[in-house]
Structure 1
């Protein structure tokens, strides 16, 4: 008798999706490594004429949005659909704030200090990008998490944090959509997915840029589309749904191959969205070889520190961006470009390990201690385990 996915994967934990976050974070990092190499005239990791797998890596961000909606629905479903709206909204946003904001704040502050000191000591670093990346007028929007709302015509400070800002405001969709889906049944998720797809398709064609690489201007719209797809996807295929492990594994493998093909060819970005959705649903349910592979200790750890990887690599990008011309790096062979990438990733992962253990984990521990001492009605709305608290971008 073939085992079902739900016989192997507990309802409280989604280990394959935890690992997938780490893989996606590294994919985004590779994309930005390639951006740094290309715009600093040091070549590319892979010529786009040969393959766009790395050059189109901005699409991994859309996977993050779908993942976030799926896992937020999984982690908060019961608490978002019971109790008074004001109380559950306050508890939900309090939990999410503790999860995402401390690291964002510390890294932004670190970047402010570093830019101030470096600009004073080495004024030769101040090329045409300096005033853009370190625009003081953009700092308030970075701190208020509004820098993905077309307030500026450029990326600023921690250039990857626009997506964190966009997602913060999209959490309101979970407060509204999850209770409605609980009330109207599983297939109400289809309406939520349709809304998300309509938003992404409308954004893609209305802007006419031929890409989903949309960040500081309409990033919040892009995020909302993917987030709604994730919310609805969980409603349709929750982890308690019966799905043969062999089928889930096959869907996961096929969707991975499809995503790689879309990025390789550099075709219509929108084609990646349904593939990401299938991948998330399949890995969320898989109890076979994909579950075992993604449950390896290395991938699980990368998944746990994926939020740190994502935000830290933004700082590493800026460091390498200014170090390359200042030090006169000449990466005239593919081997040197990949050595550059290895150094970038090593520094990113090392920094992420530090920030996770010094900032993220203590923040979560503090939140859990507050929950333990809170009155019963407040405890019912707060994350009940580290596994749930870890569910983020």
Structure 2
């Protein structure tokens, strides 16, 4: 989908630039050259995470319940498949992050460098429980991977519960899934997302994720555009109660995706091969950029600690190397044949896509 690829490409670059501006001494030294730009990257570029939350919800609705009814016959197996799809490249990236931090520590001491991990800390990361168990992160942004799995599982449980209610109460052809998801999204928007103590749990982020899910259902070409307008009105009400820029951005992205789907240009606009490429590698760039940035930060700090121009060039170099590393990681790890072989060896039953399960279910009915 060209529109989604473009959004992922731009957002992943903003996250890399945010971490370059927020962490490490290079941005401190280069700040005098472009204070406004670096401050913007440091304070606001992180909101690009909301784009990924909305897109994830949008695509989850498309794959799990395109008509509002859960189409997955084995929800727990689908959650397990999602976990192993996320965690195998993520674990490889964590190992790279550990190595990168060890290299960086030889050249500088800085708060942005994670300490050497213990076994429990590493296992907590692999199980995506590091935030819940209050372990320090081994790389920037790893919280998102854990939240992504939580959100997927919460959506799956909500859709499964809705399916059971449909069976129990014999509601006919009317899906209850959108109602349950809307209830969770409302709870997040009006309550949980306003309390940062919930930010290690899916419900805190379900407002944005649910917006993506609801935008998919509301953008059915046969459906009245009133559904999207109603979605917009509810979110505007939540913003009137407590304005949050992150939710405003999530609403804008949800409306963009919904409008693009209704208009038939979600798959075809924009026509830009480079955006499609950077969209494809966005998860890999997200996973590996931080250790690359750490090592470049440490090297430049070691060689030219107080030279703004060289530190600014170091930031550019770190950004370029992050994308190059992401492209290699995507090719050889995230989607590479060795990784697929490892997945089949470790989880022989998990390689069958959820879509194939759905197709089999449809053929048998």
TM bucket by the smaller chain? 0.7 to 0.9
Change (3 A) 1:284 1:181: farther
CA deviation string 1:113-154 (max 9, x = no partner): 4444665xx2x5344554x454435322211111232614x4
Counting only pairs closer than 5 Å after superposition, residues 49-88 of structure 1 correspond to structure 2 as 52=40, 55-77=43-65, 81-82=70-71, 84=73, 87-88=74-75
Question: TM (normalized to structure 2)?
Answer: 0.73
Structure 1 pair 188–220 and aligned structure 2 pair: CA distance change class (3 A): closer
Q: Post-superposition shift, 1:37?
A: 5.8
Q: Specify whether residues 340 and 176 from structure 1 end up closer, same or farther in structure 2 by C-alpha distance, changes over 3 A only.
A: same
What residue in structure 1 maps to residue 141 of structure 2? Answer: 160
Q: CA, structure 1 residues 174+295, in 2 after alignment: closer, same or farther (shift >3 Å)?
A: farther
Instruction: Give the 3 Å change call, closer, same or farther, for CA 18–47 of structure 1 in structure 2.
Output: same
Q: By how many angstroms is 1:68 displaced?
A: 0.4
Aligned in 2, Cα 1:128/1:68: closer, same or farther, shift over 3 Å?
Answer: closer
> Are residues 113 and 341 of structure 1, via their aligned partners in 2, closer, same or farther at CA, if it must alter by over 3 Å?
closer
Change beyond 3 A, Cα 1:93–1:83 = closer
- Contact 1:148–1:166 (Cα < 8 Å) also in 2: no
2:215–2:254 contact (8 Å) kept in structure 1: yes
Q: Any stretches of 5+ residues in structure 2 without a counterpart?
A: 233-242, 358-365
RMSD: 4.0
In the alignment, does 2:150 pair up with 1:169? yes
Aligned to 2:95: 109
- Provide the C-alpha distance between the structure 1 equivalents of 2:203 and 2:124, rounded to a whole number of angstroms: 17
- Looking at structure 1, the residues matched to 26 and 201 of structure 2 have their Cα atoms a distance apart, in angstroms, of 22
Conservation of the 8 A alpha-carbon contact between 1:99 and 1:364:
no
Give the superposition deviation at 1:165: 1.2
Mapped partners of 2:271, 2:224: distance in 1: 20
Aligned to 1:278: 255
Q: 1:238 to 1:135 in 2, by over 3 A?
A: farther
Q: Which residue of 2 aligns with 1:229?
A: 211
Match of 1:306 among 261, 270, 282: 282
1:277-304 CA-to-partner distances (Å, cap 9, x unmatched) read: 212323444445x865423211111111
Q: Are residue 34 (structure 1) and residue 21 (structure 2) matched?
A: yes
Q: 2:40 is paired with a residue of what secondary structure?
A: coil
TM normalised by structure 1 equals 0.68
The Cα shift of 1:226 comes to 2.4
Q: Distance in 1 between matches of 2:338 and 2:55?
A: 20
| Count of residues in Structure 1 that have an aligned counterpart in Structure 2 | 328
The change in CA–CA distance for 1:56 and 1:49 in structure 2 (over 3 A counts) is same
- 1:190-215, Cα deviation, whole Å (9 max, x unpaired): 6524532432443453349xxxxx9x
Per-residue deviation, 1:307: 0.6
Q: Can you give the 5+ residue segments of structure 1 that lack an aligned partner in the other structure?
A: 1-13, 209-213, 256-265, 386-393
Going from structure 1 to structure 2, the CA distance change for 1:181 and 1:284 (only over 3 Å counts) comes to farther
Cα distance between partner residues in 2 of 1:337 and 1:354: 25
What does 1:190-339 correspond to in 2, within 5 Å?
192-193=181-182, 195-207=184-196, 218=200, 220-238=202-220, 268-288=245-265, 292-332=268-308, 339=313
Deviation at 1:343, TM superposition (A): 1.3
Cα displacement (A) at 1:22: 1.5
State how far apart, in whole Å, the 2-side matches of 1:88 and 1:191 are. Answer: 17
Q: Distance in 1 between matches of 2:4 and 2:70?
A: 24
Say if 1:148 and 1:218, in contact at 8 Å, map to a contact too: yes
In 1, Cα distance between equivalents of 2:25 and 2:104: 24
